[in-house]
């Protein structure tokens, strides 16, 4: 079950980082940084909730 959870987290994280890169290329630097922070939060949050 842990592998499935990490797989879903990595897929969502990859999509978020891809969107962040798209924003950066589109000259929306603040939005890109905010999306990168969201991507980091996606990885950190499960340690406190799901994967104790």
Contact 2, 24 (CB under 8 A): no
* Percent helix, strand and coil across the chain, each to the nearest 5: 85, 0, 15
Chain segment 1-52, per-residue pLDDT in tens? 889 988 998 999 999 999 999 999 999 999 999 999 999 998 898 888 876 6
Q: Record the tokens describing residue 30, joined without a space.
A: 């603040």
Residue 5 confidence (pLDDT): 85
Dihedral, CA of residue 11, residue 14, residue 17 and residue 21, to nearest 10: -130
Can you give the residue ranges of every domain in the chain? 2-48
């Amino acid at each position: 079950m842990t592998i499935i959870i990490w797989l879903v987290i990595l897929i969502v994280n990859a999509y978020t980082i891809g969107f962040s890169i798209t924003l950066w290329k589109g000259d929306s630097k603040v939005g890109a940084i905010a999306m990168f922070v969201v991507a980091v939060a996606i990885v950190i949050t499960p340690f406190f909730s799901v994967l104790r």
